[in-house]
Structures are given as C-alpha cells and as structure tokens.
C-alpha cells in the first residue's frame, strides 16, 4: 500500500508532534494546565500574524471568522466592496448580504488578480463604502490578490480593509501591522497544519472604532466579549481544547523554522511545481499572479479532470483538489501549505506524470520531475 499523501489545499497533513499531543487525555479548560498552553498560543499567533495586536481563537472553521469579520465591524445597511474572483470571494458577498449589508461586487475573472486601481476608483466614486473585503489568496483559483497595494489605498481613508488570510497566513508574508491591514482571519486546517475546527481573527486599532459602532446581530462570535476573556487566557465558551493543545505544537514548530523559513520553503515548492508543470507542457490556471498556497494546473485537452483526480487517489493514495463551479473538471489544485516538503513536491509531480500517461496523455516521464529537481537543487 502507498503512504497517504494529502495534498489538497485544506485540510492539510498534521505533523506527528501535534497528532501525539492531541491524542493525550483531554484537558479541562478551567484547570490550571490549560492557561499556559492558551497563553503560549496567543503569543505564537501574534508571531505568525505578524502583529502586536491580540489574535483571537474561535471554535469554528475558517468561515466562522469570516462571518465574525462582517458582523462585528459593520452596521446594518453599510456598503462594503468585495472582490469576487472565486468561491471564497463570492462567500464574502453572501455573508454581507445575509447580515443586511449592502455588498458591492468587484468582479474578477477566475484565474486573475484584482487590479488595485479598480478598488481605488470604486472608493473615489462612492464615499459611502465603509469596507473592502478580499482574499489574500483565493484558493479556488490559486490566485494571490495584491493586498499590500490595496492596503496603501485604504490605509489613509476611513475604510476598513478585511483580508481573508486563510491560505496566506503561514504561506507568504502578510504583515498586517506594517501594511495597515485592518482585519485578518485564518483557519486551522491550511498552513497551520491542524485538523479543521479553529478559526483566528486579529484586527487593527482603526478596526476598534468600527467595532464600537457595529450594530449587526451576533451572539457566538462576539469579538468584544471574546477579547475580554482571551486577554485573561480564557474563552467565553468551551474552547476546542484538543485542537488548542495541537496548536501550541505547530506554533512551536513554525517558530523553530522561523516564519521566513516557512515562507521561503513554501515559495520554493510552489515555484518548483509551477515550472515543472510548464515543462510538462501543461498550463497554469493562474499564470500571472499565482498564490504559493497551491498550484492550479489546467487538465489537458482530452483528459477528464475527475478521472485524473481519481487515478491519483486510487493509484498513489494522493488527494489533490479539483476545481469548483466553472473550473470543475478543468483543473487540479496541488497544495504547498504547511507540513509539506520538497520531496512531496517531487512525489506529486511523479504521480501526476504517471497518471497523465495512464490516461493517454503523451508525457515524457521525468520531464516535470527533472525541472522541479533543478529548482529545488539551486536552493
């Protein structure tokens, strides 16, 4: 039997020390053993979020933090711009609408990044817009949006910049304090190498003002109440204790490698994959502004995308993601996040070559692998 290779852009593989820590008997969150673990997590999260501000830990998948990033900062009827270039951008629009805000869509072709000038123009034209919602990395299309440039536009206005960093935090630099991003959210099952179930949110001083005037309905994700509790290393409700025990392990791991080290390793693997794919004569779905979180490869003409995914799973125990909606059956997405190393990249490319060949696509075996090795060997 082959080793299981989880290379979908979330959930991602969990390192042994985190799995073992989570397998220990459950702690009670009001007992003294828990507090220092929680405190260490809060400290480690500041490092990973590149912020001096508090990072709150919520029991939810990433979307819970996205929802909190709407309900805690806006008012009923507030106009908010959102970048829709994929499934997750679309989700901002749905959450905004669900809570009675007035979402204004910036539509972006799938596979492309938003042009920051479009955001500047929209803000110039409509002073009623109070916030901009965007993904740093749009996982459904493997695109990286230019958040630093967008922050330059929003920073000196009375406009909140809210960034879904779910496949960016721990993937590439997203220094929220330095760039002037107002809200950043992420989740546990992507670059943070944990099972799903934790969401995280941090916000700026500017966002504090929005927090004060927000009047949207909320109960579970009440960030003001939660912040008060977490400042004392407690949570308002029962925390996901076992996941937090695992979180301490992965945060220690990131600190040991350093955040720069993690970013560098991820970038190298992403570049090796992209170049290998091109060497194989395949096309990238997002050639101009690729995210290092995952690589979206166009399934070549004559090959069925579902069959390719199935072949990778059945022949090599490898899970990659397909495409969603308009990209369904047309792309596969290979993750580079978290507990993945350069030899995983080589293995994924080898499996891709073999599977394509098996499905009748002409492949000179080793072409992609050789290209990847040449890039990995330079580093």
For the beta carbon of residue 27, count every other beta carbon within 10 angstroms. Answer: 16
Tokens matching residue 187: 């989740």
For the CB of residue 187, give the shortest distance to ligand PLP in the complex, in Å: 4
For ligand PLP, the closer of residues 292 and 353 by Cβ is 292
For ligand PLP, the closer of residues 194 and 363 by Cβ is 194
For ligand PLP, the closer of residues 140 and 235 by Cβ is 140
Tokens matching residue 368: 């992609």
For ligand PLP, the closer of residues 194 and 245 by Cβ is 194
For ligand PLP, the closer of residues 61 and 295 by Cβ is 61
Residue of 25, 17, 13 whose CA lies nearest to 242: 25
Q: Rounded to the nearest 5°, which phi and psi values hold at 325?
A: 50, -120
Q: How far, in Å, CA of 127 to CA of 29, rounded? A: 46
For the CB of residue 2, give the shortest distance to ligand PLP in the complex, in Å: 26
Residue of 189, 210, 186, 246 whose CA lies nearest to 58: 186
For the CB of residue 108, give the shortest distance to ligand PLP in the complex, in Å: 14
Residues interacting with ligand PLP, by CB under 6 A?
Answer: 10, 61-63, 88, 135, 137, 139, 164, 166-167, 187, 190, 196
> What are the start-end ranges of the E strands in 172-261?
183-187, 198-203
For the CB of residue 362, give the shortest distance to ligand PLP in the complex, in Å: 33
For the CB of residue 92, give the shortest distance to ligand PLP in the complex, in Å: 9
Q: How far, in Å, CA of 243 to CA of 289, rounded? A: 33
Q: Using DSSP, state whether 96 is helix, strand or coil.
A: helix
Q: Rounded to the nearest 5°, which phi and psi values hold at 66?
A: -60, -45
For the CB of residue 308, give the shortest distance to ligand PLP in the complex, in Å: 21
For ligand PLP, the closer of residues 65 and 279 by Cβ is 65
For the chain, what is the radius of gyration of the CA atoms?
Answer: 21
């Amino acid at each position: 039997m082959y080793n299981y290779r989880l290379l979908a852009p979330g959930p991602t593989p969990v390192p042994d020390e985190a799995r073992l820590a989570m397998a220990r008997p459950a702690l009670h969150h009001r007992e003294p053993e828990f507090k220092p673990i929680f405190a260490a997590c809060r400290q480690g999260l500041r490092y990973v979020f590149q912020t001096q501000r508090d990072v709150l830990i919520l029991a939810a998948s990433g979307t819970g933090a996205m929802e909190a990033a709407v309900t805690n900062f806006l008012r009923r009827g507030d106009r908010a711009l959102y970048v829709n270039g994929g499934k997750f951008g679309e989700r901002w629009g749905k959450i905004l609408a669900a809570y009675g805000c007035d979402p204004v869509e910036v539509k972006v072709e799938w596979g492309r990044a938003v042009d920051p000038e479009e955001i500047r123009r929209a803000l110039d034209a409509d002073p009623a817009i109070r916030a901009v919602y965007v993904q740093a990395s749009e996982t459904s299309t493997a695109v990286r949006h230019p958040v630093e440039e967008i922050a330059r536009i929003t920073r000196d206005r009375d406009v909140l910049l809210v960034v879904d960093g779910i496949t960016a935090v721990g993937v590439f630099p997203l220094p929220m304090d330095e760039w002037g991003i107002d809200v950043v959210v992420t989740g546990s099952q992507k670059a943070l190498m944990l099972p799903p179930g934790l969401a995280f949110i941090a916000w700026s001083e500017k966002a504090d003002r929005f927090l004060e005037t927000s009047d949207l309905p909320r109960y579970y994700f009440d960030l003001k109440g939660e912040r008060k509790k977490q400042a004392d290393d407690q949570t308002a409700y029962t925390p996901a204790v076992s996941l937090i025990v695992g979180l301490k392990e992965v945060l220690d791991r990131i600190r040991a490698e350093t955040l720069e080290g993690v970013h560098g390793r991820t970038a190298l693997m992403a570049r090796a994959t992209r170049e290998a794919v091109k060497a194989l004569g395949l096309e990238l779905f997002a050639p101009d502004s690729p995210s290092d979180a995952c690589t979206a490869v166009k399934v070549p003409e004559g090959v069925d995308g579902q069959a390719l995914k199935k072949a990778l799973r059945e022949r090599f125990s490898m899970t990659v993601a397909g495409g969603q909606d308009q990209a369904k059956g047309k792309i596969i997405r290979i993750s580079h996040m978290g507990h993945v190393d350069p030899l995983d990249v080589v293995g994924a490319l080898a499996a891709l070559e073999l599977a394509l060949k098996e499905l009748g696509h002409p492949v000179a075996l080793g072409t992609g692998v050789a290209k990847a090795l040449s890039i990995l060997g330079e580093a």
